[in-house]
Amino acid sequence: MPAPPPHSSRLARSYLCAIGLFLMALGLTFTYWLFRAGEKAMITRHWTAVPCVILDSGIQEGQFSENSPVTWRTVLDYRYSWEGKVYHGTKLKRIEGPTPHRERAVAAVSEFPAGMETTCYVNPARPEEAVLQHSTKAAFYTLWWPMLFTVGGAGMLWSTLRRRPGPSDVNAAPGS
């Protein structure tokens, strides 16, 4: 079997390095994205818990355009006091949006019927900002997945770069 041309091994090594760099970049990007999402979810856990009263609770149907699907949004109004001043809150969670699943919106507001006395979490720096629930920390629990790509890409890059060139890597004329 003839030996491969001298440039083919260099080309293969370059290709493996490129794949390793790509996997590392992809892994680091998604690790950063998930970490930031987890940090945002943790923000309200440092806010102050205060008693509040639910004044209104329901869902609202919406549609972005006539061709888009119907979505459902929670509609809440609750009253709380902060340092002697009365505020009204409307947010269930710090970051929320509509859902195409009506039953999810109904389930979310059914936990907070009108007239219920509960606890809300108030931002001490901006007392007009409050939430009834903390966001999930699931982003932190899934950080391992993109880290696998980062470690795998780094391993691929390291093993490719540390490999010594073999006889087919040397671009020398035979017999010299």
Query: Tens digit of pLDDT for each residue in 95-138?
Result: 777 888 889 888 888 899 999 999 999 999 999 999 998 888 88
Closest C-alpha among 68, 156, 74, 152 to residue 113: 74
The enclosing H or E element of 148 equals helix 144-162
CA dihedral 35, 36, 40, 46 (to 10 degrees): 60
Inter-residue contact 84 to 152 (CB < 8 Å):
no
Q: Where are the domains of the chain?
A: 6-41+141-165, 47-139
For the entire predicted model, the pTM comes to 0.65
Low-confidence ranges of the chain (pLDDT < 50): 172-173, 176
As a whole number of angstroms, the distance between CA 13 and CA 63 comes to: 52
Owner of token pair 């699943």: 101
pLDDT given at position 176 = 46
pLDDT given at position 66 = 83
As a whole number of angstroms, the distance between CA 122 and CA 105 comes to: 23
